[in-house]
Amino acid sequence: MTVAGKESVDLPAGTLNSVLKHTGLKQAVRGPREADVIRILQPNDLEPLVAFFEANNTPDTAKYFDPFPLDRQTAERIVAGDGNLYYVAETTGVVRGFCMIRFWSGFEDATTGLLVGYESRGRGLGVKLIAHVVTELQRLGKNCTAFIDLGNTASIRVVEHVGFEKVGERSKDGRRQGVYRYVCVS
Ligand SMILES: CC(C)(COP(=O)(O)OP(=O)(O)OC[C@H]1O[C@@H](n2cnc3c(N)ncnc32)[C@H](O)[C@@H]1OP(=O)(O)O)[C@@H](O)C(=O)NCCC(=O)NCCS
């Protein structure tokens, strides 16, 4: 066979796959593999967490975290411990995902927030993280609420995967309209 005047070379079956695998090109094409450890945030996660926050601190992601700035100051505060629970998904020391359970005085339910790094999205990590957190909440005997912006389809699908149900819509703070309230009953 010729393509644009070039003759092709016949390779034994599987050669191309083998070359891609052994040169690391296969991994490069597919992107980083899924995070394999989900665990509670620890003090030595500070720098990987700062790197993760900074890499994902773009307007289209940060808007879902207002008022939780994705910056070093926030990372330092939560690593030091602020009474809430934080989890990371990491692969060999690199943070790929982050999930939080926050407890508010005067508010019965805990609330949750979830972030998967750009390069790890669409591989099921969001569902894995939230499933881990729901299991933890069940252990604590707590219900959990997720406030999710209208139009955040990915986030809605993730929480619905683990049994959250839509219970209503509300204005988040009087300024932003159209926030779904999802509740997961333990
Ligand atoms: C929302 C988010 C956590 C999803 O993480 P993820 O690891 O990419 O999600 P998953 O791969 O586990 O996908 C779960 C489901 O969402 C769907 N999904 C993922 N990204 C999607 C997108 N951009 N649009 C529509 N659906 C999407 C998947 O198809 C899958 O549904 P299915 O199994 O029914 O096909 C991630 O996109 C993110 O961090 N976004 C920015 C921050 C954010 O919005 N956080 C939530 C607000 S607190």
pLDDT digits (tens, 9 = 90+) for 110-129: 889 999 999 999 999 999 99
Tokens of 26: 């296969």
**What would the mean pLDDT of 98-110 be, rounded to a whole number?**
87
SS3 call for 121: coil
Structural contact between residues 186 and 141, judged by C-beta atoms closer than 8 angstroms: yes
CATH class for the region spanning 30-184: alpha beta
Of 22-26, 56-60, 146-150, which one has max mean pLDDT? Answer: 56-60
Tokens of 14: 């599987």
- 8-state DSSP, 81: -
Position 46 scores a pLDDT of 98
Closest ligand 1 atom, residue 149 Cα: 47
Q: Please give the Cα distance from 74 to 60 (Å, whole number).
A: 19
Q: Please give the Cα distance from 171 to 79 (Å, whole number).
A: 30
What angle, 0 to 180 degrees and rounded to 10, lies between the N-to-C axes of helices 125-140 and 153-161? 50
Confidence (pTM)? 0.82
Ligand 1 pocket mutation pick from 52, 60, 114 by most atoms within 8 angstroms of CB:
114
Ligand 1 pocket mutation pick from 88, 158, 180, 184 by most atoms within 8 angstroms of CB:
158
Q: Which of 89, 172, 90 has the alpha carbon at shortest distance from 133?
A: 89
Position 173 scores a pLDDT of 59
Q: Please give the Cα distance from 169 to 175 (Å, whole number).
A: 14
Is any ligand 1 atom within 6 A of the Cβ of residue 56? no
Take atom 32 of ligand 1 and give the residue whose Cα is closest. Answer: 157
Any idea which residue has 């879902």 for tokens?
Answer: 64
Residues 26-85: pLDDT tens digits?
A: 555 555 455 579 999 999 999 999 999 999 999 999 999 988 999 999 999 999 999 999
In angstroms, what is the span from residue 129 Cα to ligand 1's centroid?
11
Closest ligand 1 atom, residue 112 Cα: 48
Tokens of 83: 């009474």
Q: Which of 181, 174, 175 has the alpha carbon at shortest distance from 152?
A: 181
Is any ligand 1 atom within 6 A of the Cβ of residue 116? yes
Is any ligand 1 atom within 6 A of the Cβ of residue 126? yes
Position 3 scores a pLDDT of 44
Is any ligand 1 atom within 6 A of the Cβ of residue 111? no
